[in-house]
Amino acid sequence: MEDSAKAYWSATLGLLGKILVVWFLVSFGAGILFAPALNSIHLGGYPLGFWFAHRGRCTYSSR
């Protein structure tokens, strides 16, 4: 039973690490690096680059 628990947590932490890497790359890339290119697309009247950067800011400061 202990081996299956270790395997479960190992798989869970591996998946969590991969998800966090994808989250960082998308938020950093879309919010900062690709903002000028994304600003040509509008979402709800706002440039898409601004929308990505704003969503990241709201995620951190919405306590």
Q: Does residue 63 carry a pLDDT above 50?
A: no
Q: pLDDT tens-digit profile of 6-50? A: 999 999 999 999 999 988 887 777 777 777 887 888 877 878 777
Three-class HEC string of 1-61? CHHHHHHHHHHHHHHHHHHHHHHHHHHHHHHHHCHHHHCCCEECCEEHHHHHHHHHHHHHH
Q: Give the span between the Cα atoms of 28 and 8, in whole angstroms.
A: 30
In the chain, where the domains are located: 22-63
Q: Does residue 60 carry a pLDDT above 60?
A: no
- In this predicted structure, what is the pLDDT of residue 10? 96
CB-count exposure of residue 45 (10 Å: 0-12, 13-18, 19+): exposed
Q: Give the span between the Cα atoms of 52 and 27, in whole angstroms.
A: 7
pTM for the full model? 0.54
- In this predicted structure, what is the pLDDT of residue 62? 45
